[in-house]
Amino acid sequence: MRAAGPDPFPAHRPNAGVVLFDAAGLCWIGKRFGAPGPWVWQWPQGGMDPGEDAEAAALRELYEETGATAEMVAPLGSIDAWLAYDFPPEVRGDKGRWRGQKQRWFAYRYHGRDADFDLTAVPPQEFEGFRWERLERVPELIIPWKRDVYRAVAEAFAPFAR
């Protein structure tokens, strides 16, 4: 679902992200596969296919990156507006025509077990490990140029962490 009116970020690649909460209110973060430190953690997120609904993209990305299916989660909420970040110059060179990413974010409660995650469900593998973390700590664990978006997501989804 898009906000009414013109696209505020036409030069940004459409993307959807998921914050997955456990019963204790901790959120799932993945350690990016083969990424050099120190900022190797992030929530599941990825590009939206042309014409794809944002929530459908979020659930697809969740499955592709974690192996968690829609049957293992229950919706908690979403952020209706696009949140965006720009790629830094050293990263933008390999991203083609996109200036950055605009993202729609969704929160879900996870009802599966840790053993149900399959980080190799769909190649190429995005994450090599995961852990459950306090929501408010995650923005400081992400690469700095994504932090403003992660702070906004953490603020919006704070009620689900209780």
CATH fold of the domain at 18-160: Nucleoside Triphosphate Pyrophosphohydrolase (3.90.79)
Could you tell me the two tokens for 98? 């996109």
What is residue 5's predicted lDDT score, i.e. its pLDDT? Answer: 64
| Contact predicate 17/105, CB 8 Å | yes
What is residue 9's predicted lDDT score, i.e. its pLDDT? Answer: 95
Q: What is the pLDDT of residues 77-110, one digit of tens each?
A: 999 999 999 999 887 765 578 899 999 999 999 9
DSSP 36: -
Query: Is the pLDDT score of 1 beyond 50?
Result: no
Contacts of 116 (CB under 8 A, 6+ apart): 67, 68, 72
Strand extents, DSSP E, 72-162: 73-86, 100-110, 127-133
Could you tell me the two tokens for 49? 């296919």
The per-residue pLDDT of the chain, averaged, comes to 93
Q: Tell me the domain boundaries of the chain.
A: 18-160
